[in-house]
Amino acid sequence: MYDYQDANGKYMFREFFDIVNQNDEGFTTYKWQVFDNNEKYGEKLSYIRLYAPKGILIGTGEYLDDINLEIASIIKKDIELGFSLIVFFCVYFRILWF
């Protein structure tokens, strides 16, 4: 696995080892196969950490597209809430002053 390259030719597992050798933990991005689709690759953000008592690497990752969708959903909800509050206060002050 040490010589495995992602879709862009990046030696991702080598980078994992470099990260933990320098800082014991860190983040990296790389291309990884999207679920069960052999032809589609997505950019992944992963966190890697050295578990020193056993001398092993532990990591987790998430596709950046999924992160971006979640952020867009949160922003949309915030915009909707903000708009609702503006409408509420406009109606409230209109009733209060007229």
Taking the whole predicted model, whether its pTM rises above 0.75 is answered as no
If you average pLDDT over residues 69-81, what whole number do you get? 92
Per-domain residue ranges for the chain?
A: 12-97
Closest CA to 27 of 62, 2, 52: 62
Per-residue model confidence as pLDDT tens digits over 9-24: 999 999 999 999 999 9
- Classify residue 87 by burial, with Cβ atoms within 10 Å: 0-12, 13-18, 19+: exposed
Tell me the HSE value of 36 on the side-chain side, using a 13 A CA sphere. 0
Per-residue model confidence as pLDDT tens digits over 18-44: 999 999 999 999 999 888 788 889 999
